[in-house]
A = this chain, B = another copy of it.
């Protein structure tokens, strides 16, 4: 392990630096016999792509995925799916300002300390560009577990909160605005706020909520690989994520057991769902829902002081195109990682009973 493989059966291994030749990966363990909609995969990539709206980075990357193997006449063969997305924009930058200095709250410093040196161009491996590979794998996972419905959306930007319960939202509106918030009036406020932040050369954090519906009972592998523990790890592995909670989450700590417990209906469903669809680490068939907290992007277009490799304090200036708020583009990444986790547990669950 050097940390670039995810999953036990449905297993994704990724590679690639922000400004290397290409990023990509190998998906091993995808079952045979799935007719893949390749347009749908590209569509997911487009949701993550830079330059898609006025509130995201204006960098241009076509993000076209090429498949190398594992698909024959449009159907998965059960053999590994190799794929790559060539970087097209990687030679045009001037990186001298970050080559020998460490940007605050980026991974520059720790990569140098851990590995001895680093590919400094655009953040190298620590760039969120690698998540495009996750989106490819997630789009395939979604098509495998197609009966499960996964919808993520932006529920908070800075202090602007979407106050509605997810049951009162129309998920078909998620893609109707660049923020990916399914409540149009909240979305408009968020969009304005992000534009304002952008003008300041600053950035802001946010929360993505993910709702997973129509989940079969039985997914999750206690005691360590509980369904919510894997979902949590998968989400926390996404760039800029600082927190994860599911079901009643942090709010739930203030409740009494007698209020928090989800009472059963005769059919095994529950009257409330503080459990967030997971009990004892195993899906119980109710909706799974969770929140993922994203910090503000570290790249700000402002002057700042930092250190160089020799430990000298230097004055420098953030520059270039950047995302003022990461959550709109992170929505498909959250969905992708959720789909990968669900695909893996679906396959593991087949091995449980005689």
Contact = CB atoms under 8 A, between A and B. Distances in A.
A109 interface: yes
Contacts of A281: 3, 107, 237
A307 B266 contact: yes
A50 B35 CA distance: 34
A6 B250 CA distance: 25
A228 to B, nearest CB: 6
A53 to B, nearest CB: 19
A3 B243 contact: no
Contact of A257 (B3, B111, B115, B300): B300
Contact of A26 (B15, B75, B255, B291): B15
A312 B104 CA distance: 59
Given A2-B351, A22-B69, 18 more contacts: A1-B11, A2-B80, A3-B222, A9-B348, A9-B351, A17-B77, A17-B79, A24-B68, A72-B118, A77-B119, A113-B268, A114-B352, A203-B258, A242-B252, A250-B250, A257-B297, A264-B306, A347-B351
B217 A110 contact: yes
Given A17-B79, A250-B243, A258-B202, A3 B225 contact: yes
B26 A26 contact: yes
A311 to B, nearest CB: 5
Interface string A188-217: 000000000100101111110000000001
A24 B296 CA distance: 37
Contacts of A221: 1-3
A20 interface: yes
Interface centre among A20, A245, A280 (most CB of B within 10 A): A280
Given A26-B13, A203-B256, A204-B256, A32 B116 contact: yes
Contact of A82 (B34, B81, B84, B262): B84
